[in-house]
A and B are shown apart, each in its own frame.
Chain A
């Protein structure tokens, strides 16, 4: 749904832009194409990587790992799995809910969700193209560590009830 909204907004803005200044709109589209063409090789590579990683780290695999482990070891494992995979939210959240129902801990689930969203191992090639190696590595490491704080606090708040 939100994707269509994005299209709608873009088309509306494009129409307004075209109405106001044809030349500028042309220039904007040219820039858009140039920026896209520039990153396309990395995008394609990353998408192939995502396909291969997810074929191995599928939902059943994730639930086996996160579902059975407990304690901090389970949290670390969940965080690593989340960091490596790139599962879309509409698959990840129901999977996480299912895992909670089948007995997984809040801490593990929180670690998994947090690294899943904030840490991108497979998207590394795209990120370094824009931000360089040092920043990309530092950002991902910090986000990974931060996920343990998130896991701990959610474990306290949500798990403690």
Chain B
């Protein structure tokens, strides 16, 4: 029963997929193909991401994370959050589990949000790709707007969210 509840979303999407394949064959098959492709992409990114977060959780002491990215880390914490997020590879959903470990280790909330923002949009591999396809004016302008943008979004979110909600999110990260 519990298992059924956990896989509710997956089962629902699977049913829709089957319906699609029956009634809109071409689109359904295409959807299945893309899902297969995404699974491959996931298989490439997810195992190292989770192993890295396991290692991070075990080897890096809380005090170190607090010192570099915690409440009093200031500018250093912000820069580190941007660099770590930008060095990432893979889709945004890979960032969330790492963010959870960050919270567990006492990383400041805004820095967690900056990390998520950087992962979403200033990833270095993607930036290089953007540079070659869309040109340096486009890519550099976007980068220059995005860096202050993600910091701003992080601070707006953190001041908008009630303190209890933030505490709840941190507590939730402990059990994940």
Contacts and interface: CB of A to CB of B under 8 A. Distances in A.
A134 B10 contact: no
A28 B51 CA distance: 7
Given A3-B45, A48-B35, A139-B153, A41 B10 contact: yes
B142 interface: yes
A135 B161 contact: yes
Contacts, number: 229
- Nearest 8 CB-CB pairings of A with B: A51-B35, A32-B54, A45-B9, A48-B13, A55-B31, A93-B133, A10-B48, A28-B54
B96 A130 contact: yes
B99 interface: yes
26 contacts: A2-B125, A3-B45, A6-B45, A9-B52, A13-B52, A17-B58, A39-B96, A41-B8, A51-B35, A51-B38, A52-B35, A86-B91, A89-B129, A96-B133, A109-B138, A114-B121, A114-B142, A117-B120, A120-B93, A130-B97, A131-B99, A132-B172, A139-B116, A146-B153, A154-B141, A157-B137
A36 B50 contact: yes
A30 B54 contact: yes
Given A27-B54, A35-B54, A123-B91, 11 more contacts: A31-B53, A35-B176, A45-B9, A48-B10, A51-B31, A52-B16, A100-B134, A131-B169, A135-B169, A154-B142, A158-B137
A114 B113 CA distance: 17
B91 A118 contact: no
Contacts of A96: 133-134
A130 B130 contact: no
Contact of A142 (B28, B36, B135, B157): B157
Nearest to A135: B161
A50 interface: yes
Interface class of chain A by DSSP = helix
Interface of B: 6-10, 12-14, 16-17, 20, 27-28, 30-36, 38-39, 41-42, 44-55, 57-59, 89-93, 96-97, 99-101, 113, 116-117, 120-121, 125-126, 129-130, 132-135, 137-138, 141-142, 145-146, 149, 152-153, 156-157, 160-161, 165, 168-169, 172-173, 176
Contacts of B121: 114, 117-118
Contact of A10 (B6, B17, B30, B51): B51
A29 B58 CA distance: 9
B176 A123 contact: no
Nearest to B20: A52
B129 A7 contact: no
A143 B117 CA distance: 9
Contacts of B34: 50-51, 54-55
Nearest to A17: B55
B136 to A, nearest CB: 10
A75 interface: no
A143 B13 contact: no
Nearest to B35: A51
Contact of B129 (A43, A46, A90, A131): A90
A129 B138 CA distance: 34
A145 to B, nearest CB: 9
